[in-house]
Every structure is written in C-alpha cells, then in structure tokens.
Amino acid sequence: MKLGCIADDLTGATDLALMLAREGLRTIQTIGVPRPELDLADADAVVVALKSRTNPAQEAIDLSLIAAKALKQAGAQHLFFKYCSTFDSTDEGNIGPVTEALLPFTESDFTLACPAFPANGRTVYKGHLFVNGVLLHESSMKDHPLTPMRDSNLVRVLQRQTNLSVGLVSYDDVEAGPDAIRSAFHRERSAGHRIAIVDALNDAHLRDIGLAAADFPLITGGSGVAMGLPAAYRQGARSGHASRTGFEAPAGRSVILAGSCSTATRGQVRAALDAGIPALRLDAMELASGATDAQAALDWLKAQPASGPALIYSTATPEEVLAVQSKLGRMNAGEIVENTLAEIAKALPALGFTRLIVAGGETSGAVVNALDVDALAIGPEIDPGVPWTRSLAGSDLALALKSGNFGAPDFFLKAWSMLR
Ligand SMILES: Nc1ncnc2c1ncn2[C@@H]1O[C@H](COP(=O)(O)OP(=O)(O)OP(=O)(O)O)[C@@H](O)[C@H]1O
Ligand SMILES: O=C(O)[C@@H](O)C(=O)CO
C-alpha cells in the first residue's frame, strides 16, 4: 500500500477517497480502523474515516495514532492526515495536536498543511484561506455550529494549536513549480519550522505541491493536495476509476437525511422542498423535550410514496441554531440531533431503504455508525468531493455522504439518476 490516510471525519474521508480513486489509485475507505479480516492486499490507498474532528485533542491524537499503527502494519509507505478544506478546528485543536503526534510516529520532522480545494472554492493565498472568494472569517464558516472559524490566517490559526513552529510556502514559490516548492520546503525546515502552510489557487498548484511532497512520510491537508500524489506514486497512474457513469446500486427505497446547517445544504434543502420532495423537518427543541422522536419520523417516512426519495432534515438557519444552542448547549444540541438521525438510520434497511444521501460530516459519522457499515467501495462523482459509495459488508447500501458545504443546489435531486 502506497498511502495510508487518516481522515478526521467521514465525509472528508469519502472526499479524499474519491480524489485518490479518480487519480488512479485503487482505494478502499474504512469506517474506523480496518477489521483484520478486510482484504486490503489489492489497495494502493486506504482511507480510514475517524470521527475525531471535534473530540478533545487527546482523544483525537489517540484515535489517529491507533489508525496510523494499523495502516503502517498493513504496509502503508506514507501517511496522509486529512482535515477539512475550511480548516475546521478550534484553538485547542485538532489539526495541530494530531500533526504534532503523527510527525514523530512517521519518524519525520517536517510536513505541509494545505487545505486548498479550488474545485470547491477553497483557495489559500499568502497563508489566508478563502471560501468562494471570501475570507474564511467572513464566510458562513464563522457561524459553524461546532467549529466557528473567526481567523483566516492559517499560520496564526495553526500556531495557536501547536508548539511546533509554523511557516509558510507562499504563492510565489508555488507558482514557480515543483523544484521551487521543494526548495521552499527546505528553506522553511532550515528556519526551524516543522509545519508549512502552503498556498494554492488552482489544480496546477496542487499537482505541483503533490509532486514536491510525494516523498514526505507525512502529508496533511484537504483532499486537493492529494491530487498530485497518485501520479507521483504510480508510474502512469490509471485514471477514470471513479467515473461519472451509472453505478450499480441495491434495489430499494431512497431517503435523504440532512443534519448539516451549512449554506450549501440549506440551499439543497430549499431546492428539494421547491421540487416537491416529501419532507419532514426535525425541530431540535421538540426532540429535546420529547415532543417528537425518531419513531415519529419513521412513521412519517413509511407513509411517503415509494416512487421517489423523501427528506428528513434538521437543517436550520444560523440564528435558529444559535437560539437552540443557547438553550441546550452547543455539543448537547448537536448530539440530540445526531442521535435522532442515527436512530432513524438504524431502522432503514429493515424498512427497505437502501439508497441514502446523508448531508453533514458529523451527521454522516453518526448515521454510518448506526448502520454498522465498516467499509466502502468508491463509485462515481456526483459533484466535486462527493461520490456514490457502496457498503462492502453488512447491509447492502448505496450511500452518498455529503460534506456540509459541498454539492450544487440540485444535489438532492440529480444524484439518484446515477444509480442503476
Ligand atoms: N437544528 C439544529 N440545531 C442545532 N444543532 C443542529 C441542528 N441541526 C443539526 N445540528 C447539529 O449541527 C452539526 C452539523 O454538523 P455536520 O458535520 O453534520 O454538518 P456540517 O458541519 O455542515 O458538515 P461538514 O462537517 O461536512 O462540513 C451536527 O452536530 C448536528 O447534529
Ligand atoms: O475538505 C472538506 O471540505 C470535506 O472533505 C470535509 O472534510 C467536510 O467535512
């Protein structure tokens, strides 16, 4: 295995797995550390999906090191730590602390940090992260329910999370190509920095960064920075593994579970409502008081026409989320909603629902755990960063696990047409 990857959330793992598959690596995604029976012999890359993004830093470190050990034992030659393209974290972690733990594990003393993903509007310039052309701290990420991002300067953000010195490889070096990027890495390392934020404005930059960093024992970033690795790792990497062609899916009913409150998901929920998809809104306060519950949602779902998808969503505006959080607490509110969606998901296979779209990283983690799915094959790309996947064991399911901020407004409408 060339590349062992540790992703701090599930949809992020799927995003990375799609990128590696698309660029020609045979890629398997596992939910948590791979079961010993899982056959990884044919895989060029394994992406382990954790749910560690918002855990206490020590827990995230422990989980990441367990995954790192398992990947190394399975033969991984390089490690990749995948986090969000919007650098979701707090001053306590977890990007800095996990990187700090993985560096000695890989017996190295330098790595890069690059969340750029231009196809989804994430670019880094002079160390500042932009989301669709807007500085991170002015984007909707400033209101994220769990990791509000209020500083766009990633050198500063990361430095607050780690005792390692953080440097910068900026646009001028990156634009000059792989050799200049290698020299810049050398310069930053010689200056005593142990992690370098790297600028990237387009895919050509990402491919050059991938080439320059391919020898690193540890690479950290979003899925974008993995774009150039397959070509570097495999002579004549195959391409088109995850194509846009139809995907064989188990027969059965379709459902969308949305727990993400991101701008993109709010638009997708609106488009689904406008298109007349039957929809049920879960109210966090009503869930907390017991006025409604998962069983009520399942009763509603069973009564919907089997001919098309139905939508269950807790998606709300930032103002609504804040109001709920001020009454229930941020983490508690999130857990109440996640637990309800997970309880709904658990009952779905027995009710004949086999085709699921799940919106939101934390939400997807909770749902997939409840479904007891532990490995995924990667299918075609629906929109950048989001493939259809199929479970490799347990209930036979087609799953599209959508990062909160990914996907076009018609994502919930168009994704189904790719399934055969
Ligand atoms: N109405 C609501 N009120 C309060 N919290 C909510 C509400 N709806 C969802 N949540 C919580 O907000 C969090 C959303 O996180 P999630 O990771 O699922 O989505 P996201 O952050 O948009 O996606 P990603 O992590 O992929 O960017 C979850 O913990 C969810 O339970
Ligand atoms: O990088 C991203 O934006 C996504 O893969 C993700 O991690 C969102 O949860």
Q: Domain of 280: which CATH number?
A: 3.40.980.20
Residue 227 in any domain: the answer is yes
Residues 229 and 265 in one domain: no
Closest CA to 196 of 300, 319, 103, 291: 103
pLDDT one-digit tens code per residue, 105-162? 999 999 999 999 999 999 999 999 999 999 999 998 998 878 999 999 999 999 999 9
Which residue type occupies 102? L
Residues 133 and 262 in one domain: no
Residue 391 in any domain: the answer is yes
Closest CA to 378 of 35, 43, 6: 43
Mutate which of 8, 9, 29, 52 for ligand 2? The one with the most ligand atoms within 8 Å of its CB, which is: 9
Among 201, 233, 265, identify where a domain stops. Answer: 233
Residues 213 and 289 in one domain: no
Residues 85 and 198 in one domain: yes
Instruction: Please tell me the residue having the least CA distance from ligand 2 atom 5.
Output: 12
Residue 248 in any domain: the answer is no
Looking at residue 143, what is its pLDDT? 83
> In ligand 2, which atom is closest to the CA atom of 115?
1
Among 184, 200, 233, identify where a domain stops. Answer: 233
pLDDT band at 237 (very low <50, low <70, confident <90, very high): very low
Residue 243 in any domain: the answer is no
Residues 225 and 287 in one domain: no
On whether the CB atoms of residues 387 and 17 are closer than 8 A, the answer is: yes
On whether the CB atoms of residues 146 and 262 are closer than 8 A, the answer is: no
Ligand 2 centre and the CA of 94: distance in Å?
14
Looking at residue 145, what is its pLDDT? 73
Residues 127 and 29 in one domain: yes
On whether the CB atoms of residues 135 and 224 are closer than 8 A, the answer is: no
Closest CA to 220 of 361, 123, 110: 110
Number of domains in the chain: 2
Residues 259 and 218 in one domain: no
Q: How far is CA 386 from the centre of its chain?
A: 9
Q: What DSSP state is assigned to residue 360? A: S
pLDDT for residue 243 is more than 70: no
Residues 298 and 348 in one domain: yes
Residue 104 in any domain: the answer is yes
Residues 85 and 154 in one domain: yes
Residue 343 in any domain: the answer is yes
- For residue 361, give both structure tokens: 């990283």
Strand pairing of 111-114 and 218-221?
Answer: parallel
Mutate which of 85, 89, 120 for ligand 2? The one with the most ligand atoms within 8 Å of its CB, which is: 85
Q: How far is CA 33 from the centre of its chain?
A: 16
Residue 238 in any domain: the answer is no
Which residue type occupies 290? G
On whether the CB atoms of residues 99 and 57 are closer than 8 A, the answer is: no
CA dist., res. 16 & res. 227, Å (int): 9
Residue 117 in any domain: the answer is yes
Mutate which of 5, 14, 223, 402 for ligand 2? The one with the most ligand atoms within 8 Å of its CB, which is: 223
Length in residues, the chain: 420
> In ligand 2, which atom is closest to the CA atom of 122?
3
Mean pLDDT of the chain: 94
Ligand 2 centre and the CA of 82: distance in Å?
8
> In ligand 2, which atom is closest to the CA atom of 15?
5
> Structural domain of residue 349, as residue ranges?
253-418
pLDDT for residue 239 is more than 80: no
Number of H helices, E strands in the chain: 15, 18
pLDDT one-digit tens code per residue, 296-319? 999 999 999 999 999 999 999 999
Instruction: Please tell me the residue having the least CA distance from ligand 2 atom 6.
Output: 12
Looking at residue 235, what is its pLDDT? 54
Looking at residue 245, what is its pLDDT? 57
Residues 210 and 70 in one domain: yes
- For residue 214, give both structure tokens: 């391919």
Residues 205 and 332 in one domain: no
Residues 227 and 261 in one domain: no
CA dist., res. 60 & res. 364, Å (int): 18
- Tell me the CATH number at 188: 3.40.50.10840
Ligand 1 centre and the CA of 142: distance in Å?
14
On whether the CB atoms of residues 250 and 397 are closer than 8 A, the answer is: yes
On whether the CB atoms of residues 88 and 139 are closer than 8 A, the answer is: no
Site of tokens 């400033």: 142
Q: In whole angstroms, how far apart are CA 107 and each of 163, 181, 210, 233, 247?
A: 18, 22, 20, 20, 41
